[in-house]
């Protein structure tokens, strides 16, 4: 499948590695378009054992990246799941070989709209082909194959990461034992699509977006920041916002000048502007579309005779109104219909959709995940 650009040498280090493939013949995407070469940024933690049977693939959420755990070096973002991955943690790197790959279409080292097109020598922009959740999974499989791993011990992820975990089983049913979708869904509801569309429209309404050709000039930071602000509202809950901000005013409020008067406004503006520094607006468009088109709700992805040898741990959060627990229940019910081994737990938490990323809420999730991953007798 193409030349190996960088080898996976030492599995103990958390520097980002890059794997490039499909250089000559390209890679055929679900849309029919051919893309190549494709580079995937990835990180690994722990050691792959001799029979290559202890690998766990962590799938990141919408704005995530390959840097799951450990200190950030170079231009890495802070690790997004540090409390979950490491020695003695739920994804115990003394036992497991943990892999995380930035998705195709992303902007954290993997090929996406901000990458240089070999044809034009310029960034793809919106000439980048539409990608799907399936494309993300199929490209990750190329890397997993390259690492010589035939069967994963687990695939795990929250939100879009959970959708990717489900898609992995749908594509490669015999290649994984433990599947852990957290705060995920079989398909986006109209409400979820609607919020994504507000984000996309905010980006495209920014004059700096310029039909997606803004690279090398000012980026559509106002639009992208607004998109992220909307996102942040949907990731929290009414309770968690009440606790965090209530109606407290900012210290430097100027009063009736439509500046940020309330703490919640200041917080959202801050989150919006800091997001702009680390995320590409076109990637926002591409990945949200991929999530919106994802749909495994017809249950055809589960073979008639079930999934022997695969077991599911489905986790939902009571206060998550963006990916409500009923979506996780629907997932489990599909599995039950096909007699697939599934455990479902709805965790009490007031933090909303973001719960899976919040360290103070780690204990319950970690306990479930750690014990579920343990080999069964």
The residue ranges that bind another protein (CB under 8 A) are 311, 313, 332-334, 336-337, 339, 341-348, 364, 367-368, 371-372, 374, 376-377
CA–CA separation, 273 and 61 (whole Å): 20
CA–CA separation, 69 and 80 (whole Å): 7
CA–CA separation, 179 and 310 (whole Å): 7
**DSSP for 84-114?**
TEETTSSEETTT-EEEEEPPTT-SSSSS-TT
Would you call 153 a catalytic residue per the annotation? Answer: no
CA–CA separation, 7 and 175 (whole Å): 23
Q: What is the CA radius of gyration of the chain?
A: 20
CA–CA separation, 306 and 302 (whole Å): 6
Closer residue to another protein (CB): 348 or 359:
348
Q: How far is the CB of 14 from another protein (least distance, A)?
A: 29
Closer residue to another protein (CB): 242 or 348:
348
Are 143 and 110 spatial neighbours (Cβ–Cβ below 8 Å)?
no
Q: How far is the CB of 100 from another protein (least distance, A)?
A: 24
Would you call 159 a catalytic residue per the annotation? Answer: yes
Catalytic-labelled residue, pool 63, 159, 237, 319: 159
Q: How far is the CB of 113 from another protein (least distance, A)?
A: 40
Closer residue to another protein (CB): 228 or 311:
311
Closer residue to another protein (CB): 5 or 326:
326
Would you call 320 a catalytic residue per the annotation? Answer: yes
Q: How far is CA 161 from the centre of its chain?
A: 4
Catalytic-labelled residue, pool 320, 325, 328, 349: 320
The enclosing H or E element of 364 equals helix 362-373
Per-position b or e across 5-33, b if 16+ CB within 10 A of its CB: eeebeebeebebbebbbbbeeebebeeee
Closer residue to another protein (CB): 275 or 372:
372
Task: Please enumerate in sequence order all residues whose Cβ is within 8 A of that of 323, keeping only pairs 6 or more positions apart, or say none.
Answer: 159, 183, 184, 185, 192, 316, 353
CA–CA separation, 105 and 31 (whole Å): 14
Are 43 and 100 spatial neighbours (Cβ–Cβ below 8 Å)?
yes
Closer residue to another protein (CB): 238 or 336:
336
CA–CA separation, 96 and 155 (whole Å): 12
Question: Tokens standing for 232?
Answer: 């942040």
Q: How far is the CB of 377 from another protein (least distance, A)?
A: 7
Active site residues: 159, 320, 353
């Amino acid at each position: 499948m193409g030349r190996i650009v960088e080898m996976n040498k030492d599995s103990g280090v958390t520097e980002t590695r890059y794997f490039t493939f499909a250089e000559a013949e390209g890679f055929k995407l679900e849309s029919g378009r051919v893309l190549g070469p494709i580079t995937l940024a990835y990180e690994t933690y722990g050691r792959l054992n001799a029979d290559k049977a202890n690998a766990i693939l962590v799938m990141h959420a919408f704005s995530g990246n390959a840097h799951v755990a450990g200190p950030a070096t170079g231009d890495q973002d802070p690790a997004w799941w540090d409390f979950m991955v490491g020695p003695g943690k739920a994804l115990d790197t003394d036992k497991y070989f943990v892999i995380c790959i930035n998705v195709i279409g992303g902007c954290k080292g993997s090929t996406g709209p901000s990458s240089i097109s070999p044809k034009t020598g310029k960034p793809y922009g919106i000439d980048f082909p539409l990608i799907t959740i399936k494309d993300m999974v199929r490209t990750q499989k190329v890397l997993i194959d390259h690492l010589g791993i035939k069967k994963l011990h687990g695939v795990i992820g929250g939100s879009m990461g959970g959708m990717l975990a489900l898609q992995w089983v749908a594509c490669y049913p015999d290649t994984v034992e433990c599947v852990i979708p957290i705060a995920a869904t079989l398909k986006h509801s109209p409400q979820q699509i609607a919020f994504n569309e507000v984000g996309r429209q905010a980006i495209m309404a920014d004059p700096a977006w310029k039909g997606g050709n803004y690279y090398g000039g000012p980026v559509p930071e106002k639009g992208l920041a607004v998109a992220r602000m909307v996102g942040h509202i949907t990731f929290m809950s009414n309770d968690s916002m009440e606790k965090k901000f209530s109606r407290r005013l900012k210290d430097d409020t100027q009063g009736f000048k439509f500046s940020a008067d309330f703490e919640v406004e200041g917080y959202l503006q801050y989150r919006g502007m800091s997001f702009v520094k680390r995320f590409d607006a076109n990637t926002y468009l591409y990945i949200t579309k991929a999530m919106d088109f994802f749909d495994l709700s017809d249950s055809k992805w589960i073979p008639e005779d079930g999934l022997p040898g695969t077991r599911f741990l489905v986790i939902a959060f009571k206060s998550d109104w963006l990916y409500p627990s009923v979506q996780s229940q629907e997932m489990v019910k599909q599995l039950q219909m096909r007699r697939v081994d599934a455990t479902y737990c709805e965790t009490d938490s007031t933090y909303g959709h973001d719960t899976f990323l919040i360290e103070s809420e780690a204990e319950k999730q970690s306990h479930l995940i750690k014990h579920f991953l343990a080999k069964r007798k």
